[in-house]
């Protein structure tokens, strides 16, 4: 064994890490609690939490009244929550957000009358919990079982079917099962609910096992995702050890293998991974030391010679502070030379010498000048510090580590960042600001950057803020995709506006708020509500992981105009309304902001009118009666006429006998509301 490679994504996933953190916080606050099943599939972590007061129970019946109960990341069925509530338990829900999303999908399917197929291990607690949220359903573990189920249940192939998958399943198994179902089922709705972290871990394990002579998979024997990792590694690697902890590691089986890979399941804590790696590393060191010569003990003569060895300008030396005066600090170097450092090197920042250095302190310094006659050596701690800084700069370039510095100034091509007193030039293109942005806005700000180039001789260092920002955005993006769920709220920043909506940054990912989701009022342009740079609260309406698209909403559901209207008014109520639009068939009036009602032309006046404009004008405020409410279509019918007194009958005019026309009078029957019924005229005898 010559080299060890550890997968980057090995260990706790978001859901497991979240549940363990919640358990630790709960125990810190409450002292004691219980969990419905082991928090994670790792005996060491469970034992440690149990030692700290977390009792593991297997069913709600074991809960004591008033006891605090944790629902683990796998989730629980609705019946479990009901039983816990009945027993008076206080519930802390640590269900993984990804699992909760599956619960919502299958619950919706049940309401729609859809049959649910769950791809996963039927005895796994996550799958058992999912089934509790389903209506009619079946659990299928693999492609062969899927084919057999379809053969035995041909009638189901014509049903509406929703497919979900256990979060820790392999994508290969899920894909094969879906392909078989697609061939025979005509109404499928497939949701790929495999956790992104699980997919990443599996892809890394596949790639790593293909290049290593042996693989060590660390995880609980009952952990589904760990078992799948072992299966994936076994397909590409001839030697695979599936262990829970370091004492199970068989080093003899790995001794003659040059390259060994290590990965771990989502329930494996970092300290176990480190323990396994250290044990393997110790084996490598033992092998290396076996071929090295045994170190010779230094004789008294050799030690004496060491003390008499001369030192030279530029040497790096170390010694103990033996005296402090007003002008210098004396250093015992363990040689024939007595070293000293001017006190000004310790007090340049205004500090007192007694606060900066004390007797017995070990000081490292550079030899500045040697006086062989007097046997003294002037030293400089400041110069060595500068050398160390440049060493740190060179190391930072090689390792790619992220450092922090303060922007001190701008220049022609970019900005200057101070890092431990070293000037680092950051080109404008690497500042992570837009091309047209003013670089001076960065001055005096602390920034995170990577050093990309160093020339110690020319004292030139180049760095990049953009590389760090991009990496952090990618990490934030993955974190959001791991946690995102419909209805989740975010505080974001408006990045850009289009004619159809606003794009909002919710922490590394841009989601789109359609213009119709910006306000309950009618608006034509997003700019009527928001501007670029505004910070707003949004919530997730829908998302597509594959297409990396997120639809967001900004309207507050509690201020829904229709809800405001229905809470305030009912059929028969009278409201003050504002006329907003006149049409040939009637007038539209605002009842509450965002809800308009129609006053039909026949309901405007208690007499016949030719057009609404004969009586009403836009902007008029009138009293109207609510005569009908259509809840489904959100429509309101209003009537002014219902509040008016009936029109008085017109007095009959007496005509002089000489002016009588002799023509028959035309009379129309009127309805109770005073409208002509449209009946044929009735002839009336003049006598």
- What are the catalytic residues? 126
CB-side exposure of 154: number of CA atoms within 13 Å?
1
CA angle 656, 661, 667 (to 5 degrees): 100
Query: For residue 485, which of 217, 100, 95, 139 has the smallest C-alpha distance?
Result: 100
Query: For residue 59, which of 51, 44, 71 has the smallest C-alpha distance?
Result: 71
Cβ contact 250:291 at 8 Å: no
CB atoms within 10 A of CB 350: 5
End-to-end CA separation in angstroms for the chain? 129
Q: Is 116 exposed, middle or buried (0-12, 13-18, 19+ CB in 10 A)?
A: buried
**CA distances (Å), origin 261, targets 12, 275, 521:** 18, 15, 59
Tokens of 384: 């060595």
Cα 686 from Cα 365, distance rounded (Å): 133
Grouping H, G, I as helix, E, B as strand and the rest as coil, residue 606 is: coil
Tokens of 42: 């790792």
Cα 119 from Cα 190, distance rounded (Å): 11
DSSP 607: S
Grouping H, G, I as helix, E, B as strand and the rest as coil, residue 586 is: strand
Tokens of 197: 């972290």
Query: For residue 268, which of 324, 223, 303 has the smallest C-alpha distance?
Result: 223
Q: Is 223 exposed, middle or buried (0-12, 13-18, 19+ CB in 10 A)?
A: buried
DSSP structure string for 108-130: HHHHTT-EEEEES-TTSHHHHHH
Cβ contact 276:243 at 8 Å: yes
Q: 206 Cβ partners below 8 Å, 6+ apart?
A: 232, 233, 235, 236
**Alpha helix segments (H runs only) across 423-550:** 465-483
The residue behind tokens 């497919």 is 163
CB-side exposure of 163: number of CA atoms within 13 Å?
24
* Helix and strand element counts for the chain (H, E): 16, 32
């Amino acid at each position: 064994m010559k080299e060890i490679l550890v997968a980057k994504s090995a260990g706790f996933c978001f859901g497991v890490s979240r549940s363990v953190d919640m358990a630790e916080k709960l125990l810190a606050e409450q002292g004691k609690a219980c969990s419905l099943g082991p928090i994670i599939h790792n005996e060491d972590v469970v034992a440690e939490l149990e030692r700290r007061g977390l009792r593991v129970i297997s069913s709600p019946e074991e809960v004591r009244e008033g006891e605090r109960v944790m629902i683990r990341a796998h989730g629980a069925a609705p019946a479990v929550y009901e039983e816990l509530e009945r027993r008076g338990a206080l519930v802390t829900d640590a269900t993984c957000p990804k699992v909760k999303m599956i619960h919502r999908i299958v619950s919706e399917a049940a309401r729609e009358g859809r049959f649910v197929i769950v791809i996963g291990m039927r005895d796994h607690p996550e799958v058992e919990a999912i089934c509790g949220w389903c209506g009619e359903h079946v659990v299928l573990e693999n492609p062969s079982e899927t084919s057999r189920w379809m053969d035995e249940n041909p009638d189901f192939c014509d049903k509406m079917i929703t497919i979900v998958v256990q979060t820790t399943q392999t994508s290969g198994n899920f894909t094969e099962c879906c392909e078989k179902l697609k061939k025979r089922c005509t109404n499928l709705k497939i949701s790929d609910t495999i956790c992104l972290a699980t997919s990443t871990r599996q892809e890394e394990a596949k790639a790593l096992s293909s290049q290593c002579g042996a693989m060590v998979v660390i995880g609980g024997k009952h952990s589904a995702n760990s078992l799948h990792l072992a299966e994936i590694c076994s397909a590409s690697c001839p030697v695979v050890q599936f262990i829970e902890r370091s004492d199970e590691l068989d080093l003899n089986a790995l001794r003659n293998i040059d390259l060994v890979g290590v990965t771990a399941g989502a329930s494996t804590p970092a300290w176990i991974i480190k323990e396994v790696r250290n044990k393997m590393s110790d084996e490598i060191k033992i092998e290396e030391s076996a071929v090295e010569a045994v170190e010779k003990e230094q004789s008294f003569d050799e030690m004496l010679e060491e003390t008499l060895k001369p030192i030279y300008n530029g040497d790096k030396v170390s010694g103990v502070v033996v005296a402090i005066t007003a002008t210098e600090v004396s250093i015992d170097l363990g040689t024939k030379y007595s070293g000293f450092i001017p006190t000004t090197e310790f007090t340049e920042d205004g500090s007192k010498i007694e606060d900066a250095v004390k007797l017995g302190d070990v000081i490292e310094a550079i030899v500045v000048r040697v006086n062989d006659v007097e046997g003294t050596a002037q030293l400089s701690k400041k110069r060595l510090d500068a050398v160390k800084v440049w060493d740190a700069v060179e190391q930072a370039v090689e390792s790619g580590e992220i450092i922090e510095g303060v922007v001190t100034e701008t220049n022609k091509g970019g900005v200057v960042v101070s890092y431990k007193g070293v000037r680092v030039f950051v080109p404008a293109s690497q500042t992570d600001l837009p091309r047209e942005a003013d670089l001076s806005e960065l001055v005096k700000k602390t920034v995170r950057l990577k050093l990309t180039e160093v020339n110690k001789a020319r004292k030139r260092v180049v760095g990049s803020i953009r590389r760090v920002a991009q990496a952090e955005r990618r990490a934030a993006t993955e974190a959001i995709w791991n946690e995102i769920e419909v209805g989740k709220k975010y505080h974001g920043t408006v990045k850009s506006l289009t004619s159809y909506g606003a794009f909002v940054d919710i922490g590394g990912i841009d989601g789109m708020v359609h213009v119709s989701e910006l306000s309950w009022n009618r608006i034509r342009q997003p700019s009527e509500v928001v501007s670029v740079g505004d910070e707003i609260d949004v919530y997730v309406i829908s998302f597509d992981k594959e297409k990396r698209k997120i639809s967001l909403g900004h309207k507050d559901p509690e201020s829904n105009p229709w809800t405001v209207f229905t809470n305030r008014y009912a059929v028969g109520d009278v409201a003050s309304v504002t006329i907003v639009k006149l049409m040939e068939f009637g007038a539209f009036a605002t009842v509450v902001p965002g809800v308009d009602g129609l006053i039909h032309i026949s309901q405007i006046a208690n007499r016949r009118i030719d057009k609404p404009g004969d009586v009403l004008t836009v902007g008029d405020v009138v009293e109207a009666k609510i005569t009908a409410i259509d809840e489904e279509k959100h429509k309101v019918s209003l009537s002014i006429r219902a509040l008016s007194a009936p029109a008085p009958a017109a007095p009959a005019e007496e005509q002089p006998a000489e002016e009588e026309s002799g023509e028959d009078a035309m009379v129309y029957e009127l309805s109770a509301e005073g409208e002509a019924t449209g009946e044929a005229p009735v002839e009336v005898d003049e006598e």
